[in-house]
Each structure stands twice: as structure tokens, then as C-alpha cells.
Structure 1
Amino acid sequence: MAHEAEAPSDIPFGPEDAPWQKSFSSLRLVRGMPRVSPPTTDPRTAYLSVPEVPFAKVQLPPSGLDPRQYAEAEALFRRHIDTQTRDFAGYQVTSDLNYRERLGHYLDRHLNNVGDPYQSSSYTLNSKVLERAVLDYFASLWNAKWPHDENDPESYWGYLLTMGSSEGNLYGLWNARDYLSGKRLRKHSTGTRALSYERPLRGEGQSPHAYEPVAFFSADTHYSLTKAVRALDIDTFHYVGTTRYPAENPLGPGTPWPTEVPSTEDGAIDVDKLAVLVRFFAAKGYPVLVSLNYGSTFKGAYDDVEAVARTVRGICAEYGLDRRPVYRHRGNDGGGDGDHDERSGYWLHIDGALGAGYTPYLEMARDAGLVKEAPPVFDFRLEDVHSLTMSGHKWFGTPWACGVFMTRTGLQMTPPKSAEYIGAADTTFAGSRNGFSALLMWDHLARHSYDDQARLAVECHELAGYVHERLLDLQDELGRDLWVARSPLSLAVRFRRPHPDIVRRYSLACETARVDGTSRPYVHLYAMRHLTRQRVDDLLRDLRGPDAFAR
């Protein structure tokens, strides 16, 4: 290859700083150099460095690492991760984990839950039996009809995600797009592959936009929603408004369309402004796709799902989008009695990455008199909730990202292709799915009762209150506005961004927000169950330092 001749021959590589080209094993003696490409520049200078782990020590030369080099590299990485785990405070994940003693055996086993979780398939190295138990647990927790029954459209259907809620958002919006676009439902499929791509017929009097869904989500929505609508080619209200109705922004005619639905100061979606935007597009016949946050990423805010559902349903009913026929072909007389089904012209998806795992237990604690309040209802008690996702690594705690997606059986879309090879329909997004996630979540739920979970929820709720109060005290002590804030019932407390060394030590998440026309650099702390008051006090001690906050 051309770049090989141009590559420097003396780039130091690996723990011994040997030139990369001289670190091959005896394979080079068989037929010259292996067919691989050398580095063109020194990778150590090309990447952001982690001071605690010198990159040279973990680089992988063609000869591999000998036992001494491996032990040194692994010890450096272990020390770094253990230190960061001890002080980890800025993200909504639980790092207090204890699976090794019970489940270490399975790290030498292959577990792949490929395909539908309710079909065991010919791929027998799976944990689907545990996955179904976990899914039933969450169906009960989220007040869905369970167990799953493929013949009951009101029963739940779901699966465990290989990614976190980003995958759940992607899959939920994919289903929403196809549902609102009039694609064939799974329950109406005859097994012919082409059916999943059928275009519906526009009924008499239906808008020319009847199968062009428009997405709405708030300014505090996780960035995965932006990726999802782009990947799925779903039009947002901003895009449609800007390209088709540039001077008709209903929030302020003549002003630019906002990129997202405005949020309140606490980070929840502004229901009144959402109503104005939804009405504009519903009046023109566009189907409505709304994604809501239940524990927004930075502020930890809970959208009022019940109020949004009531508002969207009412507006859609005004314009005939609450129930509408979706036709496949006309009747014999050319009229509207042909092949069709009836469905709503709106879809509500709930991104409950943290909140859907935490708040059901806080609600139990409230009902038991342990706390005064709990966030608003978000789950399948609301008939207008179409899909819901949650991350398993956030509240419950797993060593890797995973999660749960759930909808109703009657809302499933036709899979794009049958999967005879695995002996089960692949109704999921990922294909091969991590079977260890089902094992870990099953293990956690088996060892923690509702009482245990409610107690943990109360402890974290009270810890968030403690953090908020101590930061307000610090603000008074320093005589300086630290912008301390906590959204109602949130586990997140946000404040002015401190020195980068403090941000790094405690892994504090950063975000810049505009307040009263001024940019404010914030960080936040999440009161997850691994965080202790002692660690909070350590942070407060560091925040009292003379250089903690830049002027």
C-alpha cells in the first residue's frame, strides 16, 4: 500500500518503546512482513491522554504483551478505574456492583438472546427464560397487562436491550414511524415479506399529509432522540415548519421555528407550548409523534406524561386523528370497506432511562408514608402511552449498558424479514442480544424485594436533598451565586462548574445553559445509591478551595 512506504520506521510503540516494525513474532520469517499497515504517526500524541494510564503501557504491539507487561498494564488500568469508581458522582448510573462471586462462572459461557424473547429458538445458548421473568417483572411494575400473549393485543410485548435507552428510543421511534405511516401491523401480517413495506391508501377526505408523521421532543431531551430521528428519517416539527411554513411559527409568527419544544426552567416540557405546536400540525393532518422524558438527562426533570397525553389526545380528536382507518385496498365498489385497520394518529413514547426504574419504588414509599411526594404517573396506566424504555445500568446497576423496551402486543409492526436461520422471529432491533444482561437484571431483582427497592429510593431521594441543602449553605458561605438548583423530586443537583481537576476527580457531567440571555457553565451531581454523604462532604471540601471556582 502507498502509505506503508511513507510511514516512519522508528515510531516507538508498546511498553518497551520498540519501533513498531521490529515487534513482530516469528510469523515475519515465513513470507516477509504480514499484510498489515503500520502507524503513520505516533498514536500516543494523536489521542487524548489519561494521565493515570500511560498509553504506551496498554498499546498492543504485533508480538502481544508478555506476562510482566500484561500485569503492569492491567494494574494501571485497574487502579485508575477503582479510583474513579470511588469518587464517581456526576452521572445517573449505579457503580456499587457485586456480581462476580455469584455470576463469574458465566463469563466463560456464551449467552446470546438472538430473536424474539418469547421464542426460545434453535440457538440454545441463551438466557431467554430469565429474560421473560425480567420482562414480566417490569410489565407488572409499569402496570401493563401481563403475561405476554401474542393473541391479546392489550397484553405487553418487550425485550431486553443490548444498548441502553438509546436503543429503546431508536426502536420505539421506528415503531412509531411505521405505525403512523400506515405500515402493516404484525397481527395483520400474512408472512409475506413485501407486506412490511406496503404503502397505505389515503382515504376519502384524508389530508395529503395523513402518513407523514412529525416528531416533537423538548429542549431537555437526550441527544439520542436527535440521532434517532435522523437515522430513521423522521421529520421533526422544526424541519417541516422551517421548510414548508417558514413564516407561520405559531409560538411567534414571523420568528424562527424553535429546534425543540421549549422546556420550563426545571427542565420539563412546556405542555402549553407543546399544545400550540401540536395543534398547528394536527390541523393540517400530520400524525403526531411525541417523545417525553421521565428523568431528563441533565436536570433529572419529569415530564407530566398524563397532562401531555390528555392534551395531545384532545387536540388529535378535534382533527380526526384519534381514531382513523388505514386502508390497504378499496372495497369492490371502490369505497372504504376494503382491507383496513383502525388506529390512532398519534404516538407517545416515554424515555424513562432513569426515572422508569426509580420512581415506581418512590411511589410505593409515598403510599407507605415514607416520603410525601412522588413524580407524576408515566406508565401503562395511561392508555395513550404507546412505548416505554428504561436503562438497566442506571438505577439497578450493571457493569455494562443494557435496558428494557416495552409496548403493547397490538402495536407491533411487521418485521422486515423472517429469520428461519435462528428458529425464531427477530422482532427486536439488535439481532444478536447480550444474554448476560438478562442474567444480571434477574439476579438483582431476585435479591431485592419491593421493600428493599423502596428503601433505596428513599435513601437516594434524601441524599439529593442533603446535597442540595449543603450546596446552598456553601453558596451562602462563599457569598457567591453558585446557581444551585434541583428540579422537583430529581436525583440531580446542578451548580456552577468548578475547576477542571474537581470535575475530573468526581466525574461531574458538564452542560452549558442560557439563563436570561447569558451562558452558564453548569455541572451536576447525581444521588445514586453508591454515593455516600462522606463522598459528598469530600466534594464540598474541595469546592471550598480558593481556586475551586474561576472568576
Structure 2
Amino acid sequence: MAREAATHADIPFGPEDTPWQKTFSRLRVVGGRPYGTAPSSDPRTAYLEVPEVPHHKVQLPATGLDEEQYAEAEALFRRHIDTQTRNFAGYQVNSALDYEKRLGHYLNRHLNNVGDPYQSSSYTLNSKVLERAVLDYFASLWHAKWPHDPEDPESYWGYVLTMGSSEGNLYGLWNARDYLSGKPLRAQHREPGRAALGHAPRGDGPHALHPVAFFSEDTHYSLTKAVRALDIDTFHALGSTRYPDDNPLGPGTPWPREVPSTEDGAIDIDRLAVLVRFFASRGYPILVSLNYGSTFKGAYDDVEAVSRTVHDICAEYGLDSRRVHHGDGEDAGHDERSGFWLHVDAALGAGYVPYLEMARDAGLVEQAPPAFDFRLPDVHSLTMSGHKWMGTPWACGVFMTRTGLQMAPPKASEYIGATDTTFAGSRNGFSSLLMWDYLARHSYDDLARLAAECDGLAAYTHERLLALQEQLGDDLWVARSPQSLSIRFRRPRADIVHRYSLASETVHADGTARSYVHLYAMRHLTRQRVDELVGELRQPGAFPPDPPAGTGTAGA
């Protein structure tokens, strides 16, 4: 009785507003009762409504939808997505996609790249042969030693992600945590049936195996999730608990939660150096995650300058190269490894800036951001999202490191016939196919020209918004970080934000909360669409008199 009182079997459900309990076919559980649990409230009022797609039209009754109902529901959703795609301007993803004609065949095929990309598997419905081609392509683009060679610690190792760079960040920090904590490397992994070298790593000093993470206030929120999931101490957490009164950026003041950024959104290297020195001098291993195309401002951390700074500080305190001991007795051993790790979250930049460099060298653009990749010997890992500048129908990406930095994997799975060195286990094999298709159809010359066009569109958008600001005689806070594809400005009226899918973020400047949006000059955006947006922003009432603080998110 209590359960029946808490549910409402007569709630209208589905495209015809049929009471839920009457949406069942003849096949029911014993006793004639509908199988499953009735809704406890009306789902149409429980969820955020999308006006263009009424919720009851897409609800799924036990009978399914007939052909007419399906056609209506799909048409509503298609029209909504097509409209939003045409105006989509606020996020760093590319919607100029062209895969359907060539790859539609594979939608009716199962592709699962479970296990290590470089090991064959008894699970033969995979696209690993294409995955390896994609990984070699990016290894070359990012100046890593390739092809992958399990016997060569300087060669690259990587895999295609099922998620976007959030998975790459999680995997990179996981690898960094275990590396800096002294756990066994993959090269030390014993044959099946025997333990990996050492179960009790030892370092010199009480903090030698206690890594500390540093990342800037412009870092994507996935880093915060990753350090929490992996139980990695940030400098803020450790400083606030063990050294509450010793904040080196201001003794007696609270520790900042993240490393401060410059106005343009890049990590403040001088302040990072002060914080790193505080912990390195106490023997803590250093884990730094950098941004290369930050989420909101599209800013590029100076990876080369940071790597040099962190290396030099760590060298002062013996953390540039150190000995990690394993085991006892006849199992005793050691290895030499660095006491710091630099990870680069290049979700946007790693797929875009190499071509912008080519465009610069060809005279198509004037500047490109500093190097970020394996040209720098102190870069340990990096990640890129395939759905951002390249463009794919769903989130995916690439993670890459050096073979000698890999940690010992779990035991090989006889079930799949390969060691699973990845994070996801079952991995989407379609993503490798999509990236392979895209790269096969675009030359370096093509992509350099596309990069130059995007840079030009970003400059054009910036100029148009500056001109609008001057015309209105009102400070719209228009700004573009160096070489960024993101142009940020004051948050307009809610309907404009929705129509163009503009991402929002509240920024505190001089003690005042400013509500910004940004526009990303991705390949699907056109000057005509920019002009249409600027035209709407020119209209009276386009900007609320008091921009609301705390609305929106930092982006995807």
C-alpha cells in the first residue's frame, strides 16, 4: 500500500498522454500487473524543459513508439539540434562534420578496442590497426619518438580515449601519482605468476613519496575531480592542513585553492615557482598540470618556461633525478626517476597549434604559442580532445606519454588475450575510425590553412566586438588572450545566450563580480554568423543593466 501511495500509475505518459498503467502490451508479469515501477511524479514537471522538444513527445512507453509517433519525435529533435548547430558559438568544439556518407556503414558494426593498442587480442572486432596509425600520426606531430617500441623507453606510448581529455587528465594524473609515489614501472613488471618488483617503495626523506599537485585557477574542473578521485593532495590541501600559517605568497593569509593566473588566463609562473619551491624544499615530489588552450579564455600556459622553472627548482633539492628503492632482501632493487611530473591538458591546443605553427612558418599568420609537446624533455604526458578543433560527433581524444614512464599494469586478461594498460577497459573503436578518416582526408597544408582561417576569424570577431563596444559607449569587457580562439565579453540577455549557446563564467575583478560569456572561433562558425550576433547585441536591451553573477558554467 505504501509503495502504491508513493507512485501514480495514472500519470499521463507518452506522446498520446496515456495513463502510464495503460501503456503496456499484453505481456505482463504474473497477476496482470504492469512490469516495473510507476512514476512517483510527472516526469514532464520534474525535468528541465526544452521548449522545442516537448518531453511527452519523446517519452518511451512500454509499447515503444509507432511509426507516426517516432517520425514526429525524431523530427522535433532533429529540428532543434540543427537549429542549435547552426548558431553554436560558445564552446570549443567543431561542428563542421562530414562522416555520414563514408562511415555510416560502421554504425551497424561493433568496434571495441579493449586492451593495449599495441597488443593483438582475441576480441577481433576492433579498429586497433587504425588506432595505431592515428597514434603514430600524433606522435610525429607532437615530436615524440615513434613508432612505439616496448623495449625503447624513449619511444612514445598512448591510446585513443573513450571520453574526452577529462579521461586523459585522469589517466595522466593517475600515472603521475604512482610514478612519484615510487610504484613499479612497467619495465620492472615481472612475468605472469610472479610479483612486480617491490611492494614497499622507499625514498629519501619523510615526504619523498608524497606527491603534491599544482594547477592554475583557469584549469578545467576535471582536474579538481581527478585529484579528488585519485586522492592526490593539492598544494592548497596540504598547505592548509600542515602549514596553515606559512603560505609563501603571503605569510598568515589563507592558501589559494589554485595557482593564480595572469589577466590573460595563463598560469602565473613567478607565483607557481614560489609555491613549488616551498614544497620541493621539504622533499615533496612535484606534479604540475598545465593548460594549452584553457576552457574559458583559451589561454596557453608557457609550457617551455614552466618546465624550465620547475626543473631548475627541483634540481636544487635533488628532485630532478632520484633513486627509488623497492622491496627487501633478494627482491631489493632501485630505479632512477625524476621527482616531478609535468602533464599538459592540451584538449584544444594540441590538435590546433601544430598547424598554426606551420601557418606561421608559411607566412599565413604572424604568431603561434610557445612549444608544448615532447620537444621539451620535461613534458611527461599530454592529452588532446578529438571533438574540439578536429571535430567528431562525440567526445574522444588521445593520451600520450613515453614508454619508459608507464606504470606496471594489472595482470594480463586471458579473457581478452591482452594486457589492459588503458583506463576505460572497453574502448570505443569508432573514435579511432573517425580520427583516421579525418586525418586521411586532410593534409598538413589543408590543416595549416584551416588553422590560419580560424585565427583570422577570432581576430575578426574581436575587432567587431571592440567596434560595438566603442559604438555603444559602454564597457563590454571585450578581451582576447594571445592567439586564443576564444573572445570573451559581457553577458547579454538570456535569450541571446541560449540562441548562440554562449558559455558563461563569473570573474572577480577588483572585488567586483563580472558575468562574462565567450565565443569560440571554431571551423563551423562564419563571419556572417558573427555579424548576426553582433547585430543582435547592438539592439537596445541586449545587455542587462546589472549582469547576474554566478550564472552558467565554465565551458566544456
Q: TM-score range by the shorter chain?
A: over 0.9
Alignment map for 1:115-134 (pairs within 5 Å) = 115-134=115-134
User: Once the 2 structures are TM-superposed, how far is the Cα of residue 5 of structure 1 from its aligned partner?
Assistant: 4.0
Per-residue displacement from partner, 1:230-268 (whole Å, max 9, x unpaired)?
000000000000000000000000000000000000000
Q: 2:263 matched to 1:251?
A: no
User: Does the residue aligned with 1:385 lie in a helix, a strand or coil?
Assistant: coil
CA distance in 2: counterparts of 1:415 and 1:149, whole angstroms:
17
Alignment map for 1:426-437 (pairs within 5 Å) = 426-437=420-431
CA distance in 1: counterparts of 2:498 and 2:143, whole angstroms:
40
Alignment map for 1:2-41 (pairs within 5 Å) = 2-28=2-28, 31-41=31-41
Identity among equivalent pairs (%): 77
Distance 1:194 1:2, change over 3 A: farther
Per-residue displacement from partner, 1:3-34 (whole Å, max 9, x unpaired)?
33431232111110111011101112764224
- 8 A Cα contact 1:214 1:289, kept in partner: yes
Aligned mate of 1:378, from 357, 372, 375: 372
Alignment map for 1:315-330 (pairs within 5 Å) = 315-329=313-327
- 8 A Cα contact 1:9 1:20, kept in partner: yes
User: Once the 2 structures are TM-superposed, how far is the Cα of residue 64 of structure 1 from its aligned partner?
Assistant: 1.1
User: Is there any run of 5+ residues in structure 2 with no aligned partner, and where?
Assistant: 546-556
Alignment map for 1:60-75 (pairs within 5 Å) = 60-75=60-75
State the one-letter code of the partner of 2:211.
P
Distance 1:193 1:94, change over 3 A: farther
Per-residue displacement from partner, 1:102-136 (whole Å, max 9, x unpaired)?
11000010000000001120100000000000000
How many equivalent residue pairs?
A: 545
User: Does the residue aligned with 2:380 lie in a helix, a strand or coil?
Assistant: strand
> Which residue pairs with 1:303 in the alignment?
301
- 8 A Cα contact 2:197 2:326, kept in partner: no
Distance 1:126 1:213, change over 3 A: same
> Which residue pairs with 2:549 in the alignment?
none
> Which residue pairs with 1:271 in the alignment?
269
- 8 A Cα contact 2:190 2:196, kept in partner: no
User: Does the residue aligned with 1:327 lie in a helix, a strand or coil?
Assistant: strand
Per-residue displacement from partner, 1:263-297 (whole Å, max 9, x unpaired)?
00000000000000000000111000000000000
- 8 A Cα contact 1:117 1:132, kept in partner: yes
- 8 A Cα contact 1:113 1:432, kept in partner: yes
CA distance in 2: counterparts of 1:304 and 1:217, whole angstroms:
13
Distance 1:495 1:178, change over 3 A: same
CA distance in 2: counterparts of 1:107 and 1:90, whole angstroms:
29
- 8 A Cα contact 2:28 2:35, kept in partner: no
Distance 1:511 1:386, change over 3 A: same
CA distance in 2: counterparts of 1:202 and 1:186, whole angstroms:
18
> Which residue pairs with 2:548 in the alignment?
none
CA distance in 2: counterparts of 1:26 and 1:234, whole angstroms:
55
State the one-letter code of the partner of 2:243.
Y
Distance 1:198 1:507, change over 3 A: farther
User: Once the 2 structures are TM-superposed, how far is the Cα of residue 158 of structure 1 from its aligned partner?
Assistant: 0.2
Of 2-11 and 270-279, the range deviating more from structure 2 = 2-11
CA-based RMSD: 1.4
Q: 2:446 matched to 1:452?
A: yes
State the one-letter code of the partner of 1:382.
L
State the one-letter code of the partner of 2:239.
G
> Which residue pairs with 1:111 in the alignment?
111
- TM-score, length basis structure 2: 0.96
Of 191-200 and 354-363, the range deviating more from structure 2 = 191-200
> Which residue pairs with 2:205 in the alignment?
207
CA distance in 1: counterparts of 2:182 and 2:217, whole angstroms:
28
- TM-score, length basis structure 1: 0.97
Alignment map for 1:20-419 (pairs within 5 Å) = 20-28=20-28, 31-191=31-191, 195=195, 199-203=199-203, 206-329=204-327, 338-419=332-413
User: Once the 2 structures are TM-superposed, how far is the Cα of residue 198 of structure 1 from its aligned partner?
Assistant: 5.0
User: Once the 2 structures are TM-superposed, how far is the Cα of residue 185 of structure 1 from its aligned partner?
Assistant: 0.2
User: Once the 2 structures are TM-superposed, how far is the Cα of residue 61 of structure 1 from its aligned partner?
Assistant: 1.1
Per-residue displacement from partner, 1:165-196 (whole Å, max 9, x unpaired)?
00000000000000000000001110457856
- 8 A Cα contact 1:113 1:434, kept in partner: yes
CA distance in 2: counterparts of 1:339 and 1:464, whole angstroms:
55
- 8 A Cα contact 1:293 1:301, kept in partner: yes
- 8 A Cα contact 1:196 1:416, kept in partner: no
Per-residue displacement from partner, 1:190-245 (whole Å, max 9, x unpaired)?
04578569544434xx2201000000000000000000000000000000000000
